[in-house]
Structure 1
């Protein structure tokens, strides 16, 4: 079963670099890096804002927690916002992501 991870990065280069590392480690099969977004947030009881680069990472459900854990380590933010969830529906074109969890890509 396919799983998705959403995570904003400080810039496009860091998203691509970390995405490539996760692909090379066999933890994700794909990363879609979006254009810059403007983020408003609260941190330490203060409202902040910044430009960030959103990314959607695709993996197999069996690798979801391992991919999130590794992303936390590689991410340049001290406390990155990382959201992951299994997909309950998808097209047959996502079946190749199941090969990640089976070790077929190793």
Structure 2
């Protein structure tokens, strides 16, 4: 049996993690993330002197989307921003909700996968 979605976020500090990009393809949505790993995570390395976290790239992939609402925020200097801070993050069953500096994402999907690179 596979791991639950919640357990896939063990030892990842979602509140400090950031969104890098939103990619939409047909009935799929991919969120490129920089996950902030906690010391107990197997891929954890001591952060550099100028970083607060051990940043690790990853993806949230949603397939078989039946409901999708993207509310993009307009921000000053939006073209230069590379990381968007997460304000709220919730996965419950097939539903996903996230608010961040990029905007608000609400969806329902048949498949939700957490991938680390």
TM-score (norm 2): 0.21
Relative contact order higher in (CA < 8 Å, ≥ 6 apart): 1
Q: More strand per residue: 1 or 2? A: 2
Greater helix content: 1
The TM-score normalised by the length of structure 1 is 0.22
